[in-house]
């Protein structure tokens, strides 16, 4: 016999609220290798396929002689290994390879997850410049890496592609000279993707790392200090042996001289800050236009800053830049950051009516990295 009953809600009303999932954050550890894909490898209608190892590439139809396969070997063969590598297909029309920048653009538009693009092919200076120009302003933030064997890059007067990109002030391209491997930079880039773990003290610098699978320029013949200095003068990079024992990548600079590690971590920081703010706005009924509401936003940004402190990208230090609100030149940042905002009471009525937050100012003190050491030893007999 059916029992007819009334609900318990009027007496014991239980509400369970499960917060919305945060937006997926980029790990900034995915490199894209672009170039000619064998006809036996089926890509369907997409430009990009992702692989967890080179075995999967062989199973998919690549061969050990394919340039993209050899590049992936370098990416996966380093002391620190990324979880995945992406492969982007360059299209052919009537037997011609589309322009590399067109491949780069199509892959960027199709998939927003990869961060670092490497074209595995023999590019002219004009093609390299076109790719470098494209990544300067494209969104999401992107880096471009390339390898060159052009002797002009270590010429005292010319400087080749390194000098050209330096003079253009491009910040999002990194190049390596190598006469030993057509895609040598895939090794250093693979190491960097593997190092982006987000774990405690995982911040890094590319200087003096090994490129497993790549010979140094002076492995079997002299490569003079003058040539090395000419490359580095134009913000190029090179893999050399020092002191017989040490095979090292030097120095990890972008075309304009910015350090690679600063680029990748600041890009990640910007990404995480955007998502942190968006999560607060998305997951709440509203964020009040009050000091309490501003505190909620700043607390979300604080979590991101704490992450940057934990990985070792920022650290305690003295602020040596312009004064910002309550932060003055010479003040100490105990954790490497300070988050401030202009008072709500000082906000214009127009901004309040438009439901804008007062500007938030985040000041960071980078931990930096030591690349050069001088030691004076005084001996008394």
What is the residue-averaged pLDDT of the chain?
93
Tell whether 211 and 328 lie within a shared domain.
no
The pLDDT value recorded for residue 27 is 75
- Residue 1, pLDDT score: 53
pLDDT digits (tens, 9 = 90+) for 104-143: 999 999 998 999 999 999 999 999 999 999 999 999 999 9
Q: What are the start-end ranges of the H helices in 2-99? A: 54-59, 67-76
Task: Indicate whether 190 and 329 sit together in one domain.
Answer: no
230-283: pLDDT as tens digits: 999 999 999 999 999 999 999 999 999 999 999 999 999 999 999 999 999 999
Is there a domain that residue 155 lies in? yes
> Are residues 161 and 87 part of one domain?
yes
Q: Do both 68 and 142 map to the same domain?
A: yes
Are the C-beta atoms of 92 and 64 separated by less than 8 Å?
Answer: no
pLDDT attached to residue 93: 75
- 271 falls within a domain: no
Residues 236, 149 within the same domain: yes
Q: In the chain, how many domains are there?
A: 2
Is 293 domain-assigned?
Answer: yes
Write down which residue in 203, 225, 259 finishes a domain: 259
User: Does 25 map to a domain?
Assistant: no
Kindly tell me if the per-residue pLDDT of 158 is higher than 70: yes
- How far is C-alpha 15 from the chain's CA centre? 42
Distance CA 91, CA 97 (A): 6
Same domain (yes/no): 352, 244 = no
* 381 assigned to some structural domain: no
- Calculate mean pLDDT across residues 330-341: 96
Same domain, 187 and 237: yes
Q: Is residue 266 part of a domain?
A: no
Residues 60 and 202 in one domain: yes
Average pLDDT over residues 52-76: 96
- Exposed (0-12), middle (13-18) or buried (19+): which is 80, by Cβ within 10 Å? middle
Contact between residue 283 and residue 292 where contact means Cβ atoms under 8 Å apart: no
Distances in Å between the Cα of 369 and the Cα atoms of 28, 65, 248, 366 are 20, 39, 16, 9
Which residue, 203, 224, 259, sits at the end of a domain? 259
Confidence of residue 209 (pLDDT cuts 50, 70, 90): very high
Closest of 174, 293, 188, 307 to residue 231, by C-alpha: 174
Q: Which residue has the tokens 């190092």?
A: 195
φ, ψ of residue 129 in degrees (nearest 5): -65, -40
Is residue 355 assigned to a domain?
yes
Q: Are residues 40 and 148 in the same domain?
A: yes
Q: Are 184 and 193 in contact (CB under 8 A)?
A: no
- Return the minimum-mean-pLDDT range out of 18-27, 222-231, 274-283, 372-381: 18-27
Give 145 or 11, the one with higher predicted confidence. Answer: 145
| 288 and 248 co-located in one domain | no
Whether the model pTM is above 0.85: yes
Q: Which residues contact 28 (CB under 8 A, 6 or more apart)?
A: 115, 196, 264, 267, 268, 271
Helix (H), strand (E) at residue 341: strand 337-341
In a domain, 6, yes or no: no
209 and 315 share one domain: no
Q: Is 300 exposed, middle or buried (0-12, 13-18, 19+ CB in 10 A)?
A: buried
Same domain for 73 and 215, yes or no, is yes
Q: Supply the range of the domain harboring residue 347.
A: 284-364
């Amino acid at each position: 016999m059916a029992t007819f009953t009334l609900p318990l809600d009027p007496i014991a009303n239980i509400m369970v609220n499960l917060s919305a999932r945060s937006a997926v954050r980029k790990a900034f550890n995915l490199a894209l290798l672009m170039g000619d894909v064998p006809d036996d490898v089926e890509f369907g209608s997409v430009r990009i396929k992702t692989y967890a190892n080179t075995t999967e590439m062989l199973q998919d139809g690549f061969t050990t002689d394919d340039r993209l396969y050899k590049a992936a070997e370098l990416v996966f063969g380093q002391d620190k290994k990324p979880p995945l590598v992406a492969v982007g297909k360059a299209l052919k029309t009537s037997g011609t390879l589309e322009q590399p920048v067109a491949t780069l653009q199509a892959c960027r538009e199709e998939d927003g997850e990869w961060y670092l693009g490497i074209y595995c092919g023999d590019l002219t200076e004009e093609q390299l410049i076109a790719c470098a120009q494209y990544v300067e302003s494209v969104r999401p933030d992107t880096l471009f890496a390339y390898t060159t064997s052009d002797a002009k890059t270590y010429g005292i007067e010319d400087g080749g592609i390194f000098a050209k990109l330096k003079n253009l002030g491009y910040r999002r391209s990194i190049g390596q000279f190598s006469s030993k491997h057509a895609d040598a930079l895939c090794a250093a880039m693979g190491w960097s993707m593997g190092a982006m773990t987000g774990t405690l003290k995982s911040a890094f610098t590319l200087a003096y790392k090994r490129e497993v699978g790549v010979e140094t320029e002076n492995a079997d013949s002299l490569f003079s200090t003058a040539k090395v200095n000419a490359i580095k003068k134009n913000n190029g990079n090179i893999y050399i042996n020092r002191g017989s024992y040490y095979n090292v990548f030097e120095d990890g600079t972008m075309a304009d001289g910015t350090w690679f590690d600063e680029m990748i971590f600041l890009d990640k920081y910007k990404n995480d800050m955007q998502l942190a703010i968006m999560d607060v706005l998305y997951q709440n009924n509203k964020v009040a236009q009050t000091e309490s509401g501003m505190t909620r936003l700043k607390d979300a940004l604080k979590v991101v800053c704490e992450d940057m402190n934990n990985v070792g990208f920022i650290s305690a230090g003295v602020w040596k830049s312009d004064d910002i609100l309550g932060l003055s030149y010479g003040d100490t940042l105990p954790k490497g950051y300070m988050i401030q905002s202009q008072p709500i009471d000082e906000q214009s009525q127009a901004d309040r009516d438009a439901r804008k937050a007062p500007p938030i100012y985040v000041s960071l003190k980078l931990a930096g990295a030591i690349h050069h050491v001088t030691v004076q030893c005084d001996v008394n007999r």
